[in-house]
C-alpha cells in the first residue's frame, strides 16, 4: 500500500493535477474569506467554508478522474493485478494519496482562523470543527470520485459523471421540494432506484441472478409495506433526498453543532464507495 501511495503522490506532483486542485481550492476559499471576513467584516470563518464547498463540484472530479480510469487506458492495471499486492491495498494507497493532496491546501486554509483571530474575535472551536467537517466531507466526495473513475477508462467521462453526481448531491435538498410527496410517487421512485441498483450490481458482479432477484425482492418488499400501510411512504422520497445530501449535513457544523451522526455518515459513505471501487477493479479479473 505504501508503494502505491508514494507512486501516486509522485504522479500527482509530476503532473499539474495536485497544483490545479490546490490552487482552485485556495483561490475559492480565499475569495470567500475576502468577501465574508474582510469586506463584510464577519468573524465567522465557517461561513467561508460553507461558500467554498461549492468548488468541490468541479475540483473533486478533476482530481479523481484519472485515478483508475488512466490505469485502464494505459493498461497498467495489468501490472497492479500481477504484483503481489491486493486490490484493497491498491485502492487504499490511491485513496490515501488523494487525501494527502487534499490535505496540503487544507493545512494552509486551517491557518486562516488563527490569522483572523489576531485582528478580531473569532470563535475558533466552530471554525476548526467546520474545517474538520470540510475535510471529512471532501474525503467522502473523493471516495465517490474514485468509484466513478473505476467505472470507465475515459477520464473525460469520469469527470463528467463526477460533476453531475456531486452537483445533484449539492442541489438534492432544493430538488426534493419539487418531487412528489405522495405515497405512490415515493414507491414508484424507489422501485426505479431498485432497478438502477440492480443494473449497478450486475455491472459490478456480472451476476444477473443476484442483481435481478435482489432488486425483485426489494420491490416486492416495498410494495408489501405500501399495501400494509401506505402512509409510511408519504413524503419519503424528498426525505431520502435530503438525508443523502452530503452538503446539507455540513451546514449543521457551520451552524455551530459538531454532529457526530454526520461524521458517521461521511465515514460510511467513504467505506461504501471504497468497497465498491475494490469490487469494480476486481471485476476486471472476471471479464
Partner 1 sequence: MGSGERQSMISVEHLTKYYGEYLAVEDLTFEIGEGHVYGFLGPNGAGKTTTMNIMTGCLSASAGSVHIDGHDIFEEAEAAKKCIGYLPEQPPLYMSETPLEYLRFVGEAKGLRGQALTEQIQAVIRQTGIEAVQGRRISALSKGYRQRVGIAQALLGNPKTIILDEPTVGLDPIQIIEIRSLIKELGRSHTVVFSSHILSEVHAICDRILII
Q: Does 81 contact partner 1 by CB under 8 A?
A: yes
Closest to 24 measured CA to CA, from 60, 50, 51, 70: 60
Q: Does 268 contact partner 1 by CB under 8 A?
A: no
Rounded to whole angstroms, the Cα distance separating 145 from 138 reads 10
The nearer residue to partner 1, 212 or 272, going by C-beta atoms, is: 212
Q: Does 209 contact partner 1 by CB under 8 A?
A: no
Pick from 27, 83, 199, 225: which binds partner 1 (CB under 8 A)? 83
Q: By CB under 8 A, what part of segment 151-190 binds partner 1? A: none
In terms of DSSP H, where are the helices of 150-259? 155-170, 172-176, 183-205, 208-228, 236-244, 246-254
- C-beta of 265: minimal distance to partner 1 in Å? 34
Rounded to whole angstroms, the Cα distance separating 186 from 254 reads 31
- C-beta of 93: minimal distance to partner 1 in Å? 9
- C-beta of 2: minimal distance to partner 1 in Å? 7
Q: Does 104 contact partner 1 by CB under 8 A?
A: no
- One DSSP character per residue, 269-284 reads HHHHHHHHHHHHHHHH
Choices 84-92, 136-144, 168-176, 252-260 (CB under 8 A): range interacting with partner 1: 84-92
Q: Does 15 contact partner 1 by CB under 8 A?
A: yes
Pick from 111, 121, 209, 286: which binds partner 1 (CB under 8 A)? 286
Q: Does 16 contact partner 1 by CB under 8 A?
A: no
138-141: long-range pairs with CB below 8 Å, 24+: 138/56, 138/60, 138/102, 138/106, 139/99, 139/102, 139/266, 139/270, 140/246, 140/266, 140/269, 140/270, 140/273, 141/56, 141/60, 141/166, 141/246
Pick from 23, 27, 42, 78: which binds partner 1 (CB under 8 A)? 78
Rounded to whole angstroms, the Cα distance separating 140 from 209 reads 31
In the block, which residue shows the cell 435482489? 214
Choices 11-19, 27-35, 51-59, 231-239 (CB under 8 A): range interacting with partner 1: 11-19
- C-beta of 276: minimal distance to partner 1 in Å? 19
Interaction site with partner 1 (CB under 8 A): 2-4, 6-7, 10-11, 14-15, 74-79, 81-86, 285-287
Amino acid at each position: 500500500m505504501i508503494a502505491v501511495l508514494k507512486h501516486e503522490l509522485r504522479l500527482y506532483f509530476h503532473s499539474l493535477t495536485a497544483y490545479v486542485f490546490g490552487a482552485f481550492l485556495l483561490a475559492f476559499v480565499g475569495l470567500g474569506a475576502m468577501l465574508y471576513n474582510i469586506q463584510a467584516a464577519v468573524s465567522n470563518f465557517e461561513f467561508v467554508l460553507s461558500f467554498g464547498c461549492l468548488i468541490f463540484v468541479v475540483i473533486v472530479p478533476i482530481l479523481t478522474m484519472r485515478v483508475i480510469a488512466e490505469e485502464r487506458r494505459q493498461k497498467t492495471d495489468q501490472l497492479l493485478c500481477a504484483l503481489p499486492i491486493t486490490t484493497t491495498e491498491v485502492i487504499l494507497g490511491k485513496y490515501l494519496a488523494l487525501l494527502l493532496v487534499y490535505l496540503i491546501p487544507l493545512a494552509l486554509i486551517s491557518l486562516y482562523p488563527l490569522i483572523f483571530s489576531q485582528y478580531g474575535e473569532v470563535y475558533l472551536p466552530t471554525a476548526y470543527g467546520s474545517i474538520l467537517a470540510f475535510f471529512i466531507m471532501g474525503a467522502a466526495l473523493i471516495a465517490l470520485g474514485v468509484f466513478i473513475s473505476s467505472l470507465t477508462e475515459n477520464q473525460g467521462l469520469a469527470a463528467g459523471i463526477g460533476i453531475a453526481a456531486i452537483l445533484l448531491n449539492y442541489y438534492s435538498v432544493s430538488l426534493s421540494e419539487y418531487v412528489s410527496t405522495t405515497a405512490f410517487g415515493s414507491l414508484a421512485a424507489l422501485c426505479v432506484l431498485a432497478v438502477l441498483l440492480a443494473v449497478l450490481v450486475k455491472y459490478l458482479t456480472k451476476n444477473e441472478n443476484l442483481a435481478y432477484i435482489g432488486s425483485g425482492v426489494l420491490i416486492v418488499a416495498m410494495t408489501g409495506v405500501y399495501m400494509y400501510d401506505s402512509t409510511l411512504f408519504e413524503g419519503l422520497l424528498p426525505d431520502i433526498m435530503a438525508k443523502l445530501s452530503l452538503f446539507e449535513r455540513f451546514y449543521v457544523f457551520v451552524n455551530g453543532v459538531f454532529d457526530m451522526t454526520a461524521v458517521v455518515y461521511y465515514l460510511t459513505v467513504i467505506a461504501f464507495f471504497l468497497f465498491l471501487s475494490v469490487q469494480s477493479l476486481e471485476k476486471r479479473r472476471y471479464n
